[in-house]
Structure 1
């Protein structure tokens, strides 16, 4: 007597069985490579569009308020984009004036750096028993490299300025049409994902919108608060370029762990160059770290909260990845784009593991015997989802049907 056990295989598992693993791996690698190449070479096209999407999401509530006051959709979109562009232009002008002051004082800074290098050379020759010729040769090589990079600076600055000018025209234009044609684009998403539930599409887009607004508004507010605190502290200590340096350090803090290290070392270097005593750089370095600790434990959790729960390792990786792809714009876009990807991965059933990987570890992942805790939790979850034994066993009717006919 042969018993036939009823077995059902899910379609996605059946598809994986039919498709060899090596073929799936090759297709994933080829697709990833093509996407990275496209992102690199289409930077001029993609980056303004991404900035426009984020910009549109941020200013859309103000546009909606103008529409409720009676303005038409086109006039409300134009007014909102125009006011936001003027405000950003004003902030850019302030930043440009600070950078101009810094560039005008480059000769004095260069002389101060030369004096500092001479002191380091004498210290190395006297205290470390190194020959002055060796020290001078190494320092001369570094100065030559610095000179070459400074000669290259005008060309790189010209490229940056040209890219900024292009974005000044493209980003507001894209933003206006994204807001004005928003219902048209929503219908496009419905047509693309016809098999999906419309409520799921609306919920996913709403989560992406909340992530962008929550993260960017919170991050900008945090940068303003911490940047102002840094600038005030550096100004009273007597460090030069306090305003631009304070806000630059606050911006560096977007990078988890590494950002504050780089920012504090930069502040230490600028303090050594622009001050005449030894206590000022050390005081600036120490006070900036105190501000950062207060921000990390008190200010940032209240302002930003857990709106964007990105794994710190993933955050550092994507910052370097997008920075290598797109430079400075990539650093600004890295975290929001990763957060949007996490929302999409969490919404698509087949991509849940990748959304889990992008998220922050839970407390039980960080315990001493975390693997044991994870296994226990997994067993509990499997037991909760497991059917009762009476439902798993075959019935008498199914056994009778599976018997061979005599």
Structure 2
């Protein structure tokens, strides 16, 4: 038993770089789990800087001075945030208020429809089962309403923190954009000079994460805007609110599209019933999801994420449970990181060191 354990340790941890990589991964996971809420502004700033870094690089390629590229990109970011705060949030608040005000009416209509089931299908469902189902649903809705009220009241102090974030995050984003190379060089100074394995993983994951974050942000905007245009054209109630939900649903592969279908279908059904408008709504919504998965995603993500659907869903569940929203957002790149590490460890250690000039010279000598 000890020999097997010793061989396993020698295989995976015989190289000092592998041990250092394990320590860094463990420390990063511990920091996220223990200080994730405290470091939320920093994490959000890094993500936003990732999103805007492409614009800075493009302006630099056009021979624009770096300081001017940073200022232009920062002004674009501020303009986008101002548009969201002044235009989008009031619409969302208004439609959310109307939606929750009409929930009791929707529940009553749903109850009336449920009471018709025993008359039409007496062999499948009884009136007692329907009444029990409605009782349970009414109780759960009551608990949900109390939870929403208690949550909103207990989290009033969070509003002050959010206001602080609106000041702190843009400042951090500006400095991340301005001094990104200096910050990376400063962190690299604490690592060994010869780090072929970590350099290989870093280069691969830096490109994939940047591509994923920017592509996912563009996908959210495009899907949300197209959904809003379709819902507005059809005259669907709460178009902006539902479109935002559909846009954000692309964060969770497979599951998000299924979950977003429920409110869209529910609002359409209570607005039009089993009419042709409801059928057209489902057809258009299905086309949006099909075009997103088969056209938009291949165009946006230049590097395909070669992960099995089961692995993607497992990553969403695991990282979402550990890290909440950001875990869901980064589930796929984190799963890709785990896959890259598992592949590179220990095979990558041998390959990386075999291509290391110093090791090659020693082997030749």
* 1:211 and 1:340 in contact (8 A); partners too: no
Q: Mean Cα displacement is larger for which, 261-270 or 121-130?
A: 121-130
* Higher Rg: 1
Match in the other structure for 2:166: 168
State how many pairs are aligned. Answer: 328
1:253 and 2:250 matched: yes
User: How far off its partner does 1:259 sit?
Assistant: 1.5
What is the alpha-carbon distance in structure 1 between the residues aligned to residue 329 and residue 9 of structure 2?
39
Change (3 A) 1:293 1:83: closer
Q: Mean Cα displacement is larger for which, 150-159 or 100-109?
A: 150-159
Per-residue CA deviation, residues 133-184 of structure 1 (Å, 9 max, x unaligned), is 5455334323322332332352376476455434323322322333333343
Match in the other structure for 2:192: 194
Change (3 A) 1:316 1:183: same
Change (3 A) 1:46 1:322: farther
Q: Which runs of 5+ in 2 are unaligned?
A: 1-5, 14-21, 350-365
* 1:48 and 1:170 in contact (8 A); partners too: yes
The alignment partner of 1:196 has SS state of: coil
Match in the other structure for 2:229: 232
Change (3 A) 1:328 1:107: same
Change (3 A) 1:351 1:119: farther
What is the alpha-carbon distance in structure 1 between the residues aligned to residue 297 and residue 261 of structure 2?
18
| Partner residue of 1:243 out of 232, 240, 243 | 240
Match in the other structure for 1:302: 299
What is the alpha-carbon distance in structure 2 between the residues aligned to residue 232 and residue 171 of structure 1?
31
What is the alpha-carbon distance in structure 2 between the residues aligned to residue 182 and residue 247 of structure 1?
31
Match in the other structure for 2:116: 123
* 1:255 and 1:315 in contact (8 A); partners too: no
What is the alpha-carbon distance in structure 1 between the residues aligned to residue 148 and residue 8 of structure 2?
60
Match in the other structure for 1:143: 141
| Partner residue of 2:278 out of 281, 285, 291 | 281
What is the alpha-carbon distance in structure 2 between the residues aligned to residue 94 and residue 165 of structure 1?
18
Match in the other structure for 1:220: 217
What is the alpha-carbon distance in structure 2 between the residues aligned to residue 293 and residue 183 of structure 1?
40
Q: Which runs of 5+ in 1 are unaligned?
A: 1-11, 20-27, 354-406
Matches within 5 A, 1:261-276: 261-276=258-273
What is the alpha-carbon distance in structure 2 between the residues aligned to residue 243 and residue 341 of structure 1?
37
TM-score norm. by structure 2 comes to 0.73
Matches within 5 A, 1:80-119: 80-106=73-99, 108-119=101-112
What is the alpha-carbon distance in structure 2 between the residues aligned to residue 170 and residue 345 of structure 1?
37
